[in-house]
Amino acid sequence: MSTSIRPPARARPLRQARFGHVLRMVLALSLYAGLATAQQREGVDVGGNSAFARLVPADQIEQSAGLEYSKLLQQAESKNALAPADNPQLQRLRAMARNIIPHAMAWNQRAKGWKWEVNLIGSNQVNAFCMPGGKIVFYTGILNNLKLTDDEAAMVMGHEIAHALREHARERMGKNAATGMGANLLSQILGLGQVGQTVTHYGAQLLTLQFSREDESEADLVGMELAARAGYDPRAGVTLWQKMSAANKGAPPQWLSTHPSGKTRIAEIQATLPRVMPLYERAPKPGKAVQRP
């Protein structure tokens, strides 16, 4: 027979009540953020960023991402896997980013101050990501194995940039912090201050975070809009996912390990096309001097 130490009978309900109140506060803040940003706009509408993201400081998340990014590039360079500046594929990606990034600011004002970087690492991994603060990496595997067109690669880049703009990593960390903080969460929300994490700890989390299916669906839609406004055909999202499904026999590749199925994504993309096609049709096309009407 084992024994355990239990809190006083009246203490546990009190903490539970406080935590319930905390969760209601978070939901209220999230709703307020959504209402504050909800406008009649052309394109997709996914509401405001999660209030959970506000539980951890954005500047430290971005600083941590920068440090982890530098380490990754150093490791790649030590293995002669980091593409040089004159690499045609890297030049292609950087030109794509220059077209897409100007449209990012409407989704997150912090993006104006980000020091955007795009790099290419030689690896068979079918992988790509954008860390908080605009730190982008593509692996050659995703370009070569899937033989991505510019439009398809732009859908991937838009998707990954959307994760950073929507602060999904920061939101995940905020939810982790909320789980650990319990009854103290309310004061942290109201103060919007530190939660006792360090830059090093944030960096470690960045390497292990997994986004939810809702995050991934949201990034698909925002990424489609970003690419469409930059002049890339959003219908390429359909062919991208057809290639993904064929290459992985219906299972998601490494970079999409928690994503919805290909069929689900294709259906969502097709349903959203009427909202983004007008943006694409009006946009100057990459490499062409097309004027907006």
The reply to whether 271 falls in a domain is yes
Q: Identify which of 262, 248, 226 has the alpha carbon closest to the alpha carbon of residue 105.
A: 226
For residue 36, the model assigns a pLDDT of: 42
Question: What is the Cα–Cα distance from 42 to 278, expressed in whole angstroms?
Answer: 9
Instruction: Tell me which of 107 and 27 has the higher pLDDT.
Output: 107
25 or 5, higher pLDDT = 25
Which of 79-83, 108-112, 228-232 shows the lowest mean pLDDT across its residues?
108-112
pLDDT in tens, 242-287: 998 888 775 555 444 455 667 888 999 999 999 999 999 999 999 7
Would you give the end-to-end CA distance of the chain in angstroms?
79
Confirm whether 2 is domain-assigned.
Answer: no
How many domains does one find in the chain? 1
Determine the Cα–Cα distance for residues 221 and 255; give it in Å rounded to an integer.
17
> Which pLDDT tens digit goes with each residue over 221-243?
999 999 999 999 999 999 998 99
**Residue-level pLDDT at 12:** 44
Q: Which residue has the higher pLDDT, 31 or 60?
A: 60
Is position 174 within any domain?
yes
Instruction: List the beta strands (DSSP E) in 63-148.
Output: 117-121, 128-131, 135-139
Q: What is the mean pLDDT of the chain?
A: 78
Look at strands 117-121 and 135-139 and give their pairing.
Answer: parallel
In terms of pLDDT, which residue wins out, 207 or 123? 123
Choosing from 117, 152, 160, 225, which is the catalytic residue?
A: 160
Enumerate the β-bridge partners of residue 92.
none
What gap in Å lies between CA 223 and CA 237, rounded to an integer?
10
In a domain, 159, yes or no: yes
Is residue 7 one of the residues assigned to a domain? no
How distant, in Å, are the alpha carbons of 38, 51, 53, 93, 161 from that of 48?
Answer: 7, 9, 11, 29, 16
Asked if residue 293 belongs to a domain, the reply is no
Active site residue 281: no
State pLDDT tens for residues 188-198: 444 444 444 44
Residue 23 within a domain: no
Alpha-carbon distances, residue 240 vs 39, 85, 189 (angstroms): 30, 26, 40
224, 237 Cβ separation under 8 angstroms: yes
Q: Grade residue 99 by pLDDT with cuts at 50, 70 and 90.
A: very high
pTM of the prediction?
Answer: 0.74
Containing structural domain, residue 180: 51-282
Is residue 154 domain-resident? yes
